[in-house]
Amino acid sequence: MTTIEQFRTTLAVAAPPAGLGAALEAMWWLGREDWTRAHETVQAHEGKRDCDWVHAHLHRVEGDLANAAYWYRAARQPVASGDLKSEWAEIAAALLKGPLT
C-alpha cells in the first residue's frame, strides 16, 4: 500500500494490515475511531519520532492541547492547529512514505 486512499480502504477490515509499523498501526486504529488502542500503540513506542507525532495528534483529538504540544516538540514537528481529519491524512500519508528520521 502506497497511498492514503489505499490505506483508507483497509479501515473496512477488522484488523490492521500486517507490517504497518507502530505509528501507522496507531493511525489505523484512530481511523477506526479506537482512540484508546491507538494511544496504547504509540505509548509503547515513545521516543520514536513517528510515534511521537501520532501521539501529539491523538492528544489534539482528545482536546489536551498542552500534552499535544509536548509530543509535537518530541517529534520535532510544528504544533498543528488545523482540521483534525486533514491532519490525520497528512500524517498517515507521510508515514506511508517511511518513518521519520
What global pTM score does this model have? 0.95
End-to-end CA distance of the chain: 21
Q: What is the mean pLDDT of the chain?
A: 95
Mean pLDDT of the 72-90 span: 97
| Domain residue ranges in the chain | 45-101
* Residue 78 confidence (pLDDT): 97
Q: Could you tell me the three cell numbers for 54?
A: 501520532
Question: For residue 4, what pLDDT band results from cuts at 50, 70 and 90?
Answer: very high
Q: Flag whether pLDDT at 17 surpasses 70.
A: yes
